[in-house]
């Protein structure tokens, strides 16, 4: 299983000199395993995707908050003639196609989802499914409007993608079981502890809660994602330096992890 981190910024993309080390593009990871090409979220990081030869790719959306779909309208994937299977959960009474239409239709965007050259197939999912030999499991996160945490498994290797999730509720215990013994845990750490006190209920977590979860679930490695757009490279490096564990770090755009 190969994971390419393409974007780890949360909420909105940022750019400029202060955002080079960790990257300013929003949520997107590319997972390649067993011949499958699977994108986890489609934020503006999707625009950094390497060229893909596969005639079919899958996109798993945690939810359709704008930072997780911002890369779709101009993605080369949609502008090519391949088949794209998009998986997400129905939310607010809207299926995944209807959710994406909110962004990809006039007046917000001139091109509708049906107009792209790609053959886009939408899947409304709320339970485990398989992509070839890759098994995908899902659980609901604690996040305003909802968000999906995914677990991908292939040949005894696994990763858990837990972004847009707030600790503190029953879901945290469930997540410790869901992420048990995973090889790689990607976890939302948007806020510092001080910020979290002011941002309770916004649906994001912290490094210290991530480390507690990491110890509890027995994951082999944790990478923190969904960096706050107000945290520049200096701030993020300060936060990262406080982690005293060689198996824990902040994710950076451009990072590649082989499991
Ligand atoms: Zn987000
Ligand atoms: Zn969100």
DSSP sequence for 211-229: HHHHHHHT-S-EEEE-B-T
What is the distance in A from the centroid of ligand 2 to the CA of 129? 23
Angle at 245 between CA 249 and CA 218, to 5 degrees: 90
pLDDT value, residue 30:
98
Instruction: Please list the residues that pair with 122 across neighbouring strands.
Output: 86
Rounded (to 5) percent helix, strand, coil in the chain: 20, 30, 50
Query: Which ligand has an atom closest to residue 225 CA?
Result: 1
pLDDT value, residue 149:
98
pLDDT value, residue 146:
97
What is the distance in A from the centroid of ligand 2 to the CA of 155? 31
CB 58 within 8 A of CB 42: no
Strand order in the sheet with 83-88: 119-124, 83-88, 56-60, 36-40, 28-33, 2-7, 256-258
What is the distance in A from the centroid of ligand 2 to the CA of 110? 24
Average confidence (pLDDT) over 215-226: 98
What is the distance in A from the centroid of ligand 1 to the CA of 67? 5
Query: Which ligand has an atom closest to residue 190 CA?
Result: 1
pLDDT value, residue 137:
98
Parent domain of 52? 2-258
Q: How many residues does the chain have?
A: 259
First-to-final CA distance of the chain: 5
pLDDT value, residue 78:
94
pLDDT tens column, 23-68: 999 999 999 999 999 999 999 999 999 999 999 999 999 999 999 9
- Our measurement of the distance from residue 100's CA atom to the centroid of its chain's CA atoms, rounded to an integer in Å, reads 16
pLDDT tens column, 106-160: 999 999 999 999 999 999 999 999 999 999 999 999 999 999 999 999 999 999 9
pLDDT value, residue 160:
98
What is the distance in A from the centroid of ligand 1 to the CA of 65? 6
Both tokens of residue 206? 């912290």
Q: What is the CATH number of the domain that holds 98?
A: 3.60.15.10
CA 65 – CA 12 distance, rounded (Å) = 10
> SS3 for 33?
strand
pLDDT tens column, 69-109: 999 999 999 999 999 999 999 999 999 999 999 999 999 99
Residues within 5 A (CB) of ion ligand 2: 65, 164
What is the distance in A from the centroid of ligand 2 to the CA of 147? 7
pLDDT value, residue 115:
93
Both tokens of residue 172? 């945290």
Total structural domains in the chain?
1
What is the distance in A from the centroid of ligand 2 to the CA of 140? 12
Both tokens of residue 81? 């003639």
CA 90 – CA 123 distance, rounded (Å) = 9
- Paired sense of beta strands 184-188 and 157-162, if any: parallel
């Amino acid at each position: 299983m190969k994971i390419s981190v393409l974007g780890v910024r949360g909420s909105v993309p940022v750019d400029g000199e202060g955002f080079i080390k960790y990257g300013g593009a929003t949520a997107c990871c590319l997972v390649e395993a067993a011949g499958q090409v699977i994108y986890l979220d489609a934020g503006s990081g999707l625009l950094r995707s390497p060229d893909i030869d596969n005639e079919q790719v899958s996109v798993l959306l945690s939810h359709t908050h704008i930072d997780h779909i911002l890369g779709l309208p101009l993605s080369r994937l949609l502008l090519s003639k391949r088949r794209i299977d998009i998986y997400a959960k129905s939310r607010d009474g809207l299926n995944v196609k209807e959710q994406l239409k909110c962004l990809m239709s006039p007046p917000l965007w001139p091109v509708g989802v049906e107009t792209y050259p790609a053959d886009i197939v939408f899947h409304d999912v709320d339970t485990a499914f398989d992509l070839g030999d890759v098994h995908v499991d899902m659980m609901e996160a604690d996040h305003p409007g909802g968000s999906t945490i995914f677990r991908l498994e292939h040949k005894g290797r696994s990763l858990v993608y837990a972004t847009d999730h707030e600790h503190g509720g029953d879901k945290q215990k469930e997540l410790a079981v869901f992420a048990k013994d995973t090889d790689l845990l990607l976890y939302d750490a948007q806020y510092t502890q001080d910020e979290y006190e002011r941002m309770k209920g916004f649906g994001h977590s912290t490094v210290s809660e991530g480390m507690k979860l990491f110890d509890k679930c027995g994951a082999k490695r944790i990478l923190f994602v969904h960096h706050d757009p107000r945290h520049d490279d200096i701030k993020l490096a300060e936060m990262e330096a406080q982690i005293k564990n060689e198996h824990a770090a902040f994710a950076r755009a451009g990072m590649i992890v082989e499991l």
